[in-house]
Structure formats: structure tokens, C-alpha cells
Structure 1
Amino acid sequence: MKKNYKVEVDCAASVLKMEEAAKKTNGIKDAQIRFMTQKMTVEFEDAADVNSVMKEVTKACKKVEPDCEIYVK
């Protein structure tokens, strides 16, 4: 399953590091962040609990860029 999220990130250099951190999170197949549109596309593994996985993704991304925000609905 794929989902899109709005992301606020100030540093283009951090985007790649945030993508890598998200991809290493259990339950994630793939993650992409587009700096120009401030969008994140996440592909989850089949049995993943989307809400708990996104909490972990947010934690991982904040370790890279403490000021980033991922808007999970």
C-alpha cells in the first residue's frame, strides 16, 4: 500500500538522509521525499500497521532533521 504525506523540511541535503532513515524502518518497502513539493510517498509492507510505522518513520526523520514535520492524518 502506498500513501502520501505532507512534509516540512528546510534542508535539501537532509532529504536523502531522511529517505534512507525511513527506508530502514520496519514495515517500509520504499520511501521518497520530494523537496520542491514537500511531499513524502511511502510504500508499506503488506502486514504493516500504518500508524505505528509512521510514528517510527517520524522519529527516524527527526533524528536527521529535528525541525522536520510529517503530517500524518
Structure 2
Amino acid sequence: MKKTFKLQDLDCANCAAKMERAICEIEGVESASINFLAQKLSITAPDERLEEIMNEAVRRCKRIEPGCAIVR
């Protein structure tokens, strides 16, 4: 299922690209994209693993851009 989440305090386009690549590498993620200007994350993953995948996405994003938050 495809879900879209709001990103807060994402200040760097390069960091957004790094975050997108890191999320795409999570096992179970079919696709992920970050729209830097709209401050949105779109992710496609199986419903039954979405919570686990999002927890890992938050961890990876915090390592790249500590001030950024994914609003669920």
C-alpha cells in the first residue's frame, strides 16, 4: 500500500536524497520518494509490515537529518 507522510524541519535537499536512498534500502520497501519542496515522504510497502518499516525509516532519517521528523 502507498502511504504519504509529512516531513517537518527538512532543511537540506541533499539530506532528503540521502534519506530517500536509505529508506529504499529497508527490506520490504517497494518504493520510496521524498518531495523536498512539498516536505512529503511517499512510501509503498506491505500493510502488515508498514509499522515496522516506518520505525526503521524514522531511525535512518534521524541519523541523516537529526532535526527532521516524519509526522504519522
**TM-score, normalized by length of structure 1?**
0.88
Q: CA RMSD in A?
A: 1.2
Q: Which amino acid aligns with 1:19?
A: E
- 1:24 Cα offset (Å): 0.7
More helix by share: 2
CA distance in 1, matches of 2:47, 2:28: 8
Q: 1:6 is matched with which residue?
A: 6
Q: Deviation string for 1:12-68 (max 9, x for gaps)? A: 111100000000112211110001111110010x36421111000110111111111
CA distance in 1, matches of 2:70, 2:47: 22
Q: 1:22 is matched with which residue?
A: 23
CA distance in 2, matches of 1:58, 1:27: 15
**TM-score, normalized by length of structure 2?**
0.90
- 1:6 Cα offset (Å): 0.3
Q: 1:64 is matched with which residue?
A: 64
Q: 1:40 is matched with which residue?
A: 41
Report the 3-state secondary structure (helix = DSSP H, G, I; strand = E; otherwise coil) of the residue aligned with 1:28. Answer: coil
Give the paired residue count. Answer: 71
